[in-house]
Amino acid sequence: MNRKTVSDRLFDFFNVTLFILVLLLIMYPMYFILIASVSDPVAINAGKVWLWPVDFNWKGYETIFMERSIWMGYKNSLVYAILGAAFSTALTISGGYALSRKDLVGRTPIMLFILFTMFFQGGLIPSYILIKNLGMLDTIWAMVIPGAVSAFLLIITRTFFQQSIPDELLEASMMDGCNNTRFFFRIVLPLSLPIIAVIALFNAVGQWNSYFKALIYITNEDLQPLQIILRRILVKNQASELLRNVTSAQDMVQYAELIKYGLIIVASLPMLVLYPFLQKYFVKGMMIGSVKG
């Protein structure tokens, strides 16, 4: 093995230092929100919370989890994320595989049409009229069906199949009496776990963070996702709605900030828990196609 030169060591030191700084810049805001959500609001406002919680307490989380609307929004967001991710992943995987087949008639015009949708859209008003005429306003389908297929993810999936599923594999399966449907479910899908995990994670995160569709299409409070509730509390500064038992105006302002920090953690927790289980598939799926050969 060749020994590293002084310039190589300096380069490694610079890279490690740079990435540590970038990591701190990325991680510290979330860490601060975490410790601030369990600290005394007076200490937070005084700037005493830096590295550790001050006067540890669960007041913010107790208030959050006692609110029915937050539980309802949490349940709705989970339903939308799971159902939307499953529906979108099924359409994207099947569509990507079909577009990867060389024997698909009109494959090039179809791809051009899909690429066209990446640059031009119908607009908000035509989209709203379409959803209304389809009878999907104030229904779960308004959150699941519109935008179920992303052209970007469809292209990634098609590229994966083109580079990972050789035509010879299909020909050999056909010679053994395998039809297209059986080949897709018995051979293609088991070999496609990395890209399935990538598409599912992208769709789940997109559905979980989506609030604009709910803002436009959902007016029933029992169907609104958690993001709409967060918007009402964080953006419109209505955290005081959760502090009905607090009489002091000063305490209400202080605990309102505590609730905001807690809501951010609560809203981010499902995706933070999900990612480690899909990380190896996610990294592998993203790297496939980046190196040819």
Compute the distance between CA of residue 277 and CA of residue 280 in angstroms, rounded to an integer.
8
**What pLDDT is stored for residue 290 in this prediction?**
52
Query: Measured on CA atoms in the order 68, 72, 75, 81, is the torsion positive or negative?
Result: negative
Residue 213 burial (10 A CB sphere; 0-12, 13-18, 19+):
buried
pTM of the model: 0.77
All domains in the chain, ordered by first residue: 67-236 (1.10.3720.10)
- Considering the chain, what is the average pLDDT of its residues? 82
Confidence category of residue 217, pLDDT binned at 50, 70, 90:
very high
**pLDDT reading at 239 higher than 70:** no
Cα dihedral 72, 75, 78, 82 in deg (nearest 10): -120
Name the DSSP letter for residue 53.
-
Average pLDDT for 127-147: 90
- As given in the structure block, the two tokens for residue 262 are 């807690």
Which tokens hold the place of 20?
A: 């540590």
Cα dist. 14→2, 3, 73, 212 in Å? 20, 18, 45, 42
Distances (CA, A) of 178 to 76, 182, 185: 41, 6, 11
Q: How confident is the model over 55-95, as pLDDT tens digits?
A: 888 877 887 888 788 888 888 998 999 999 999 999 999 99
Residue whose tokens read 């200490």: 43
Q: Among residues 278, 274, 267, which one has the least CA distance to residue 34?
A: 267
User: Which position has the higher pLDDT, 6 or 187?
Assistant: 187
Closest CA to 159 of 112, 113, 95: 95
**Contact partners, residue 148, CB within 8 Å, separation at least 6:** 84, 87, 88, 91
Residue 293 in this model has a pLDDT that exceeds 50: no
Range in 185-199, 201-215, 226-240 with the lowest mean pLDDT: 226-240
In this structure, what token pair is assigned to residue 226? 């958690």
Task: Kindly report the three-state secondary structure assignment for every residue of 119-187.
Answer: HCCCCHHHHHHHHHHCCCCCCCHHHHCCCCCCHHHHHHHHHHHHHHCCHHHHHHHHHCCCCHHHHHHHH
